Chain A
Amino acid sequence: MTSPSTIPDAQAEGSAAADSELVKRAQGGDSQAFDQLVTKYRGKVYGMCHHLLQNEQDAWDIAQEAFIKAWRALPSFKMDSSFYTWLYRIVHNCSYDWLRKRRIQSDGEFDDEIHRDVAAGAEAVPRDGLRPDQALKNKELGARITAAIEQLTPEHREVMLLREVEGLSYEEIAAATDSQTGTVMSRLFYARKKLQELLKDAYENA
């Protein structure tokens, strides 16, 4: 039986140590150290904002807002979690504030159909050395997966990506999304079932 997914610990620890040093300097007012943290995490933050908000410009703005809030909140960060987990909680709050405003403006529920015309956040990553026909098949599969993920609610989409792609633990996801671990597990289960339903034929033929 294949062993379940795990996080590459050594790599994570090295990254955390480097982050810790930069965070300490930034907490002391060194904006250049913070700039390095921004450079390191802007792609992840922007990508997650894009997955949640489904709009490039909004994702760019919210990512920037999140980093500014992070700078202001840095003195209160006690490094009792990884910097990214702490930062992601701010990203989560900024994104959900934005989603709530959009819901109020549209006077309805979260609408995952909005901005569907914009390029999807999830991307197909063709493996090196694939034949053109394989690469095309891979790209098509990636597009299908992207479309399926977009059909999830923002809450389910978020936990799915944080767990399966980012490799965060239940506790880290719960802390980052301001929820209970039981809620995280429940959301994961239903997100998986939904994706299973939407993608069953795709991965059976993959």
Chain B
Amino acid sequence: MKTPEQQNEKLTRWLDGAMNDAERAAFETEMADNPVLRAEADDLQQLGGLLRSHVVTEKTMPHADFFNSQIQERIAELHRSEARAKSQPSGAAAWLDWLRKPWAIAAATAMVAFGFFLTHFTEDKPQTIVLGLYTPNPSVRATSYHSSEADATVLMLDGLDPIPENKDITAINVDHSETDPQLAATTLYDADGKILLVMALDSRNQPLFLGKGIIQ
């Protein structure tokens, strides 16, 4: 005498074609002698056919191309992160991730030029590494060099229009940065711990720069 659980398991395996030939033959003989079991098996088999003919698991994905491109972008970002992690001795580059977001490029168009600086310490002396330079105006060429005499990194911009007299360029010397992931804000500090610049998003998800800017 089989328990209901054993009978259920056999019925399930029969329905799913998971029995070997001998098991299947024995179960079908059993069903021939048990009209109730046979009716149940037929009923569930009919149900399976109904499901297979009316249900699909595949579903057309909305914005499928965008879906793929987002994945490719995230894979590229993973590669960039790995490359940065390998090339940078410190974790101070976190704020640069923020700058690499698409809207940061848009923000940069509002500025004449923006240099990506990273200050870290080698032994007892701070050193600035220029990771990249971007000029939204292609006729402007940006270069940089380190002046030992001034102990500063100098940003050179060739091809700029004359700067209005009521504007002045000030330098920023980033000593360190802190990023608040929840606020999506990065704060740059000078060597005295004073805030140089806060970069964040406003309520419309647009870039927001607070504090001392490059051009005043």
Contact = CB atoms under 8 A, between A and B. Distances in A.
Given A1-B28, A68-B71, A71-B75, A188 B56 contact: no
B51 A164 contact: yes
A182 to B, nearest CB: 8
Contacts, number: 135
A167 B138 CA distance: 57
B127 interface: no
B26 interface: no
B59 A188 contact: no
Interface stretch (B7-15, B144-152, B164-172, B199-207): B7-15
B135 interface: no
A161 B52 CA distance: 9
A121 B59 contact: yes
A42 B57 contact: no
Contacts of B60: 43
Main secondary structure on chain B at its contact with chain A?
A: helix
Interface of A: 1-6, 31, 34-35, 38-39, 42-44, 46-48, 50-51, 56, 60, 63-64, 67-68, 71-72, 121-125, 127, 138, 141-142, 145-146, 149, 160-161, 163-166, 169-170, 185, 188-189, 192, 195-196, 199-200, 202-203, 206
B159 to A, nearest CB: 36
17 contacts: A5-B16, A5-B52, A31-B76, A43-B60, A47-B57, A68-B75, A68-B78, A123-B56, A142-B55, A145-B50, A145-B54, A145-B55, A149-B55, A170-B16, A196-B44, A200-B43, A203-B47
A5 B189 CA distance: 67
Interface of B: 8-9, 11-18, 28, 43-48, 50-64, 67-68, 70-72, 74-76, 78
A168 B160 CA distance: 65
